[in-house]
Structure 1
Amino acid sequence: MIITTDLGNEGAIATSWNALQPIWQGGAEVVRSGLPHQQLPPAWQILLLGDGSPTRHLQLLTGEPTEVDVIDMSAIGMDDDRAPSSLQAVPGPRVRRQVWLRTASGQRLAYATSWWEARHVDEYLENKSLPIWASLAKLRTELYRDVQGIYYGDSPVLAQAFGEAGPFWGRHYLFWHHGQPLTLIYEVFSPYLQQYLGKLDRDKV
């Protein structure tokens, strides 16, 4: 597992990012076909495997605006950063961004890491405190969200930050714009969302 310097301190310089320790994982074929409903309830599959905006979905679920706490913006050059192999599709040198997605009232809902081509990150994330969906919607940017992997796994750091016991569900995907990869995003969702999406049965995974 990769651990940041201090995810609880927004002013801290994060030296790395938090990947799940997978108990189970699936690739593009699993994403296309979906999972048995006893393994992952349908509403969770819409969030994890669908190509819609997670920040928009979270806002609709909770009835509150989805806000962002940026905890890391780091230049990583050409380093693979222990990211999913899809990172190689994003031209370098690169910048890594880490955020919490939360309700306006402060409930953390998800953790996300994204990797961007350094020379374009300011163009697409002019206001870095906005969710990516809001920034790109403001620019009327046409995108295709290409979900490539799904994970079920543990992270003590995220368990502490969410205030929820794992394991957790996560995914990674590429954003495509005009036929070119724009960014790679890795997201992990809090079990807090069970109250909106249905109970997760840890014994069925």
Structure 2
Amino acid sequence: MMKIDMKLHKAAYTFIKIWSTNIENKKIFCSSFNDFIPKEWQLLLTSDGSLTRHINILRRKKVQIHIIINKRTVLEDTKCFSLDTVSETKREVWLMNGNQTLIFAQSYWLEPKQSLQFNSHKPIGQVLIDNEINVHREITHIYCGYCKIIESKFGNRGPLWGRSYLLYFNRTPTLIINEIFSPYLVKDIQFFNHKTHA
């Protein structure tokens, strides 16, 4: 069983992974995609578009963030991203729409200078859209698990689904992002699909 240690207001808490798949291993990923990932989650977890834009369209409200942590640190466990140990800027946020918390996001800037051009009070996806910045997104892992604090914040019991990916700027791996999603996002997609096909 794998785990990611996270911090919230100086109180350590842990997201426990009960299942994880490595997308870089195409054979393993293809065999596990339909067997383990629920159909209603497949589109959201594998989308390489702007999640911020999708939520804005579905909810007709702009996504806002509540910052938990924003600091310079050292990221040691980068083996799953084929990277060496690096010094980077870490940020943890809740992405919110109105009063509802929809996503927990954890980001690591591998190139701290790049982070300076980003407004820390906006979602990264929104900054990319506003400034027309072209990036390449490489999803590396999809997983599900439990975390009492995140479940409480979402107002839903686990298991919760999440993913990890790299963002490339000018072909250079610049940003690692981990995202854990509220089940309400899937309900929004299902409602939208039902409405468009009615």
TM range (shorter): 0.7 to 0.9
Cα deviation, 1:80-121, whole Å, max 9, x if unaligned, reads 2x56732836x8420101111111x22100000000022321
Counterpart amino acid of 2:69? D
Does residue 1:121 correspond to 2:118, yes or no?
Answer: no
Correspondence for 2:38: 40
Q: What is the CA–CA distance in structure 1 between the aligned matches of 2:178 and 2:51, rounded to whole Å?
A: 12
**5+ unaligned residues in a row in structure 2: which ranges?**
192-198
Q: What is the CA–CA distance in structure 2 between the aligned matches of 1:193 and 1:133, rounded to whole Å?
A: 16
What is the TM-score of this pair, normalised by structure 2?
Answer: 0.81
What is the TM-score of this pair, normalised by structure 1?
Answer: 0.78
Q: What is the CA–CA distance in structure 1 between the aligned matches of 2:147 and 2:141, rounded to whole Å?
A: 17
Correspondence for 1:88: 83
Counterpart amino acid of 1:86? F
Counterpart amino acid of 2:134? E
> Where do residues 44-83 of structure 1 align in structure 2 (5 Å cutoff)?
44-77=41-74, 79-80=75-76, 82=77
Correspondence for 1:21: 16
Give the match's secondary structure for 2:34: coil
Q: What is the CA–CA distance in structure 1 between the aligned matches of 2:188 and 2:113, rounded to whole Å?
A: 39
Q: Any conservation in 1 of the 2:141–2:165 contact (CA below 8 Å)?
A: yes
The change in CA–CA distance for 1:34 and 1:198 in structure 2 (over 3 A counts) is: farther
Q: What is the CA–CA distance in structure 1 between the aligned matches of 2:11 and 2:108, rounded to whole Å?
A: 14
Correspondence for 1:106: 99
Give the match's secondary structure for 1:57: helix
Correspondence for 2:7: 4
> Which structure shows the higher strand fraction?
2
Q: Any conservation in 2 of the 1:87–1:184 contact (CA below 8 Å)?
A: no
Q: Any conservation in 1 of the 2:6–2:15 contact (CA below 8 Å)?
A: no
Cα deviation, 1:182-204, whole Å, max 9, x if unaligned, reads 200000001122422349xxxxx
Higher RCO, 1 or 2 (CA under 8 Å, sep at least 6)? 1
Does residue 1:144 correspond to 2:136, yes or no?
Answer: yes
Q: Any conservation in 2 of the 1:87–1:115 contact (CA below 8 Å)?
A: no
Per-residue deviation, 1:130: 0.8
Counterpart amino acid of 1:130? K
The change in CA–CA distance for 1:54 and 1:87 in structure 2 (over 3 A counts) is: farther
**5+ unaligned residues in a row in structure 1: which ranges?**
7-13, 200-205
